[in-house]
A and B are shown apart, each in its own frame.
Chain A
């Protein structure tokens, strides 16, 4: 498979906040590759540096060591070829669902009119076609997060970065979004980096699962998930699935998380 994102000894150290306090090594120098069309989930406890890793790939933070390449080019500022879904939906309350999806075009200085059809299509893809003219406060948490997924996809990015997008949702809503996940992100065509602290979610969604451990932030192991896509919810009850989650748990236990 073709490489999309290459991390070469990428590390991030935050300087000491106060005099006397130690600097924080958020990410120990890491070498990893992300291929085109694969879905990589990164799972780890809070504070393990997984969000830092995502910010580095998005170009919102700069590494303090090593270099990060996307399509062979070194990243030196926000990488605008990506679409990001944040933990909070970050919808603008004064804009309708449709207008919020179009924020992606307007923030880039594009004419939103040229993107209206595509925005409508995306809303239809996530079953929100009837809610295009609703304001965020009129939508449920799950609907709002679906709008924010549409926003991240408007410019048809080849790289989608998701920072715990389902963490703030209830378990049932989370499962509903997980079932349709492949359809939403057009699995196989886009590269997806998905951050989560939920082991089940990581195994269920990922082609590969990177297991991160904290202090310093480190990718302890990468597990290939050899389960056919699209995956039904019932796959969680199969021995293969529990075998993978057990593997992740064993890694966490080895590193003293549990």
Chain B
């Protein structure tokens, strides 16, 4: 029964697709305005080779950007929470750096890094790393100082206290940040492809749009959504493996709205 409940959202999607399909047929909506789910499905099947070759670069960009964001974000979060000096000198800059519209820097980055993987990875990284840094920091600082005192009284040094107390206590927060970061990395990669690219799903989406190929646009959208959802659940699965069950909590994805 418990696992069955997890399938409920899939039923919802099926029902919605059915309504969509019937509505498009019943009201005779032109395919240019809104293709029906079956049109999109046929388009995906018909041109599956093309979509496969266009998905791979986007996947690599998302992955590379996320990986960079995850390592940098967690490191920065640890640094800022450990050193008062780093906190006072870096943290305010981190906050104000979020006021810079990163999407707007994308063209500049394209000038610097060209239209290859590098620029796209970097844009995905820039968009994704901030929530990871902040949640790592929040997680590490939410620890009861009494607990730290207790570890100190047992003769535990900073490293052991970090490994046995701070890190496990901060893991749920770190993973909350990683999940938000993952969904933002997808946004970053697509935006980067909008600016300058000769391959990738984002690039294809713009191209199909220019051709008034609505089924093509929607196919790219469906694939991007699938990639995003899959990667999100991959992070959730890693969390399931690494974080003790009693600490699991829901991630508030509304924070990731872009």
A→B interface (CB under 8 Å) = 58-60, 78, 80, 82, 84, 86, 88, 90, 92-95, 103-104, 106-109, 135, 137
Which of the four size classes fits the interface of chain B?
20 to 34
Instruction: Please report the C-alpha to C-alpha distance between residue A108 and residue B157 in the assembled complex, in whole angstroms.
Output: 9
Partner of A107, one of B144, B154, B168, B247: B154
Contact among A94, A108, A137 with B155 in the assembled complex (CB-CB below 8 Å): A108
15 contacts between A and B (CB under 8 A): A60-B152, A78-B152, A80-B153, A82-B153, A84-B150, A86-B150, A90-B146, A90-B147, A95-B244, A104-B154, A107-B154, A107-B156, A108-B154, A109-B160, A135-B246
CB < 8 Å neighbour of B247 from A88, A93, A108: A93
- Known interface pairs A78-B155, A135-B246, A137-B246; A90-B150 also in contact (CB < 8 Å): yes
Contacts of A80 in B (CB 8 A): 153-155
16 further contact pairs, Cβ within 8 A, besides A94-B244, A107-B160, A108-B154: A78-B154, A80-B155, A82-B153, A84-B150, A86-B150, A90-B150, A92-B168, A93-B246, A93-B247, A94-B169, A94-B246, A95-B244, A107-B156, A107-B161, A108-B155, A109-B160
Chain A residues positioned under 8 Å from B155 (CB to CB): 78, 80, 107-108
The CA of A149 and the CA of B13, in the complex, are separated in Å by 53
Measured in the bound complex, the distance between the Cα atoms of B159 and A109 in whole Å is: 11
Question: A90-B144, A94-B168 given as contacts; is B160 within 8 A of A84 (CB)?
Answer: no
Specify which chain A residues have a CB less than 8 angstroms from the CB of B244 in the assembled complex: 94-95
- The answer on a CB contact under 8 Å between B156 and A108 is yes
Instruction: Spell out B's residues near A (CB within 8 Å).
Output: 144, 146-147, 149-156, 160-161, 164-165, 168-169, 244, 246-247
Chain A nearest CB, measured from B133 CB (Å): 23
Closest 9 pairs (CB-CB, A-B): A80-B155, A107-B154, A94-B244, A107-B156, A84-B153, A107-B151, A90-B150, A135-B246, A94-B247
